Structure 1
Amino acid sequence: MKADPELMFECLMYINAHYFPVIALSEIAMLVAKYLSDKKDTPNLDQDAAVCLTRHVAELMKLVIFQIFKYSSRKLVTLFAILLTLLTVATVYYNMFLQHPILRLEIVLCCVTSLLMATEMLFGLWFLMPCYKKVEYF
């Protein structure tokens, strides 16, 4: 059985479209909770909010542009999505390793996001490889 990385990449983008609102609302709620908290000292909250906003804008731009241009220029929009995915991975890296303090829920959401982004990059790069040839089923 041959794999179809183009179809798999599109399925992952579809999953990401449904996962994105959940992660965005959760992270915004956690930022507000950190801001209002008296128990946790968050010295770089402005920087954390800027990184969070960057990630959400990049993900939203990736999803919208992929949806608009996926039929007209498939390879170019896939390359653009992979580049924006690299930006998302960098912001997740910041959340997991550089942000202080980090909540347990943030760690869980960052792990799930990392898995989704890694599989998106894997299938996107596989689709862009010059040796890839589309499998015709009918």
Structure 2
Amino acid sequence: MNIDTELMFECLMHLNLFYYPVFATCETIMTAAKYNSIIDTPYIFQDGAVVFTKLIAELLKILLFRRLKEERRRIATAIAILLTFVTLGALFYSFFIQWPVLKLEMILNSLTVILATTEVFFGTLDLLPCFQKRHYF
């Protein structure tokens, strides 16, 4: 079975380019809402730092990949995978450590986990030599 891992990873990064503004806007608004809410959020500054670390890692991933993909494809993919692991760590913090977690936050984070794990999967396959494209010229 021939899988074009480079194309799949490129499509996922392109999808992330359009998903990121929605995700970043909603996460920022929800963090600000938790800061000003009646509900007790004892570690709001730590939660906010994790959210903004996640947003900065995703933004860096998108910008660096788009900048480096033409001249250094494998390095751009490796950097994107490493920054995706930062995002996954922040997402798991949001799922298991952060309290309280809003339902909309759980939904957005679930979608982001799906997107990030498929990026890691296809990005790792793209780096493996057995899945490299064969150029016959």
TM-score, structure 2 as length reference: 0.96
| Residue in 2 that maps onto 1:22 | 22
Q: Deviations over 1:32-77 (max 9, x none)?
A: 1111111x10000000000011011111001000001101000011
1:135 is displaced (CA, Å) by 5.1
Q: Does 1:117 align with 2:116?
A: yes
* 4+ runs deviating over 4 angstroms: none
**Matched ranges for 1:31-46 at <5 A:** 31-38=31-38, 40-46=39-45
RMSD of aligned Cα (Å): 1.5
Q: Deviations over 1:78-131 (max 9, x none)?
A: 001000000000000000110000011111111100000000000000000122
Give the 3-state SS of the residue equivalent to 1:41 in structure 2: coil
Amino acid of the residue matched to residue 105 of structure 1?
Answer: L
Amino acid of the residue matched to residue 19 of structure 2?
Answer: Y
| Residue in 2 that maps onto 1:13 | 13
Q: Distance in 1 between matches of 2:131 and 2:112?
A: 27
Contact 1:4 1:135 in 2 (8 A): no
Corresponding residue pairs, total: 137
Give the 3-state SS of the residue equivalent to 1:2 in structure 2: coil
Contact 1:2 1:135 in 2 (8 A): no
Contact 2:88 2:113 in 1 (8 A): yes
Q: Does 1:133 align with 2:132?
A: yes
Identity %: 46
Amino acid of the residue matched to residue 112 of structure 1?
Answer: L
| Residue in 2 that maps onto 1:99 | 98
Give the 3-state SS of the residue equivalent to 2:70 in structure 1: coil
